[in-house]
Amino acid sequence: MQKEKEVSTNQRPLILVSNDDGITAKGIRQLVEVMTLLGEVIVVAPDSPQSGMGHAITIHMPLKIRKSDVFKDLGVEAYECSGTPADCVKLAKFHIFQNRTPDLVVSGVNHGSNTSISVLYSGTMSAAIEGAIEGLPSIGFSLCDYGEDADFSHTRSHIFKIAEQTLKNGLPNNVALNVNFPARFDKETEKENEIKGTKVCRQAQARWQEKFDLRTDPYGREYLWLAGDFINPDKGEDTDEWAVKNGYISIVPCQFDMTAYHGITHINKEWEI
Amino acid sequence: MQKEKEVSTNQRPLILVSNDDGITAKGIRQLVEVMTLLGEVIVVAPDSPQSGMGHAITIHMPLKIRKSDVFKDLGVEAYECSGTPADCVKLAKFHIFQNRTPDLVVSGVNHGSNTSISVLYSGTMSAAIEGAIEGLPSIGFSLCDYGEDADFSHTRSHIFKIAEQTLKNGLPNNVALNVNFPARFDKETEKENEIKGTKVCRQAQARWQEKFDLRTDPYGREYLWLAGDFINPDKGEDTDEWAVKNGYISIVPCQFDMTAYHGITHINKEWEI
């Protein structure tokens, strides 16, 4: 509580909130509520769900952006945008904020896990990565519960602490955090999951084993739904998947330099070009 | 020439071709033509342009896929898909190929540069990264010329060589290649660019400085176009940007483990959580 006071009595930091489930999702409301304890909040979020959008940006279509009343009850200025999460952060920085710079960019809380390889497909994380590209301390938050009415109550004090630590200690350059929370209740046992603590992790080397569900539309044309199973052959106990499966909050620091430096040596050594 | 023969007299490798400019783009035809010299080619590509789609996947909409005649003249089996480049690779692997496994996944040739940070926004590279996630040797090719009618002729022998070397020597696990070619002609001088060679590079630390072009539609509503300038403060001569700007083909080995390992130490040391 003392820390909460510390933050609020200093000059209030400016916090940009976005997400990928859309501005009316339950998860973003949780995040906005917690962020108002830490600073001045402005929301720029998609006007419709954008899950799975990865780091997509809108280049062949114009964008629309409108003021929104969604967070009026919290006294929070909000904008809804026709684009992707990455578009929202770009719009916030270069169109809405103009001469102000946010002290923190937060995205989520996503309805569903973004551990492991999901970081690549995640609109939630693309907003955070976009923030990091712009040189801003940025965090994506996700809950391992896909339900529209998921229970986020157990995440609130942890979101506060993680955001507060980020504001206080900063992050290394070009790094955004990917934070995942275990679901509040275990689906099988219906028992409440106990949060055992927080682990700073690496991204698990897991992947989706896809299945396509083939159907026929009312006009006789075939269509497919993407579906699949999550396969995790990575037995490491230092991964995000291990952490959330074992009752811990996972924090993975993520970078956007995708260079595989060891690959440079390999090619220079093995190839004839 | 000897090598070309070598490859074609052995059992012909199976090569999956995709892109993000759509199945009818000029760039993919170049790539398909070159790949037919190396193996049996199957094309699974988007039915419409998907530039800037990053690693988006289609989860809230069904996918449509149809056989296409676009490459009938080359004797190449082709499918066009309503989804993103990443969807195309998933569909190819899990729906079209089923019991066969491609020996190589190639994507492009993209109309436009995918150096530096563009790798995150690039649909071309998302197809290649998706291939790498599936454990397949994968390459994304891009030409630093956005023109629909861009001249790809100078890239063909290099594409052949790079694909051949990949088939022969493989790639490190979990690595896809991001290959960028200088444009054939210099825009300003209209002189032909001489290709000086190939450099294996790191991703330049550059970014887009966005501008939004605000307009009003015929109904009085405002809309914006994303536009901007590419800013490269990275003076390294080992980057992809340096290479293509100086007449070299750049090859960046890319990984999909986004963990910033140095960030783990930072947080464990500096944070109180």
Whole-model pTM: value is 0.91
Residue of B nearest to A88 (CA): B226
Distances (CA, A) of B145 to B155, B187, B223: 12, 9, 28
The pLDDT mean for chain A works out to 91
Please tell me which of A60-69, A235-244, B202-211 the model is most confident about, judged by mean pLDDT.
A235-244
A62 touches chain B (CB under 8 A): yes
Lowest mean pLDDT among A213-217, A247-251, B6-10, B212-216: B6-10
What is the per-residue pLDDT across A145-178, written as a single tens digit (0 to 9) for each? 999 899 999 999 999 999 999 999 999 999 999 9
CB contact under 8 Å between B267 and A200, yes or no, is yes
Q: State whether CATH 3.40.1210.10 applies to domain A2-204+235-270.
A: yes
CB contact under 8 Å between B54 and A57, yes or no, is yes
CB interface of A with B, residues 74-113, below 8 Å: 86-87, 90-91, 93-95
B251 contacts in A (CB within 8 Å)? 267
Residue with tokens 């979990």: B174
| Residue A3 host element (H or E) | helix A2-9
List B176's β-bridge partners, or say none. Answer: B138, B254
CB contact under 8 Å between A55 and B60, yes or no, is no
Q: Terminus-to-terminus CA distance in chain A, angstroms?
A: 62
Q: Is the pLDDT of residue B154 over 70?
A: yes
Closest CB from A56, A117, A228 relative to B133: A117
What pLDDT shows up at residue A10?
Answer: 53
CATH class in words for B11-203+237-258? alpha beta
Closest CB from A165, A263, A272 relative to B165: A272
Closest CB from B175, B209, B273 relative to A260: B175
What is the per-residue pLDDT across A1-46, written as a single tens digit (0 to 9) for each? 334 444 444 589 999 999 999 999 999 999 999 999 999 999 999 9
Distance CA A221, CA A35 (A): 48
What is the per-residue pLDDT across A40-62, written as a single tens digit (0 to 9) for each? 999 999 998 887 777 788 877 88
What confidence category does residue A188 fall into, taking pLDDT thresholds of 50, 70 and 90?
Answer: confident
B271 touches chain A (CB under 8 A): yes
- The answer for B56, left when phi > 0, alpha when psi is -120 to 50, beta otherwise, is beta
Contacts of A72 (CB under 8 A, 6+ apart): none
| Residue B160 host element (H or E) | helix B156-169
A205 touches chain B (CB under 8 A): yes
Distance CA B255, CA B229 (A): 26
| Number of continuous H segments (helices) and E segments (strands) in chain A | 8, 11
A14 touches chain B (CB under 8 A): no
Handedness of CA A125, A128, A132, A133 (dihedral sign): positive
Cβ distance A217 to A223 under 8 Å?
Answer: yes
Distance CA B30, CA B33 (A): 5
Contacts of A123 (CB under 8 A, 6+ apart): A19, A20, A46, A50, A51, A52, A53, A54, A56, A84, A85, A86
Mean local confidence (pLDDT), B143-164: 95
Distance CA B9, CA A121 (A): 40
Question: In Å, how far is A168's CA from the nearest CA of chain B?
Answer: 9
CB contact under 8 Å between B57 and A52, yes or no, is yes
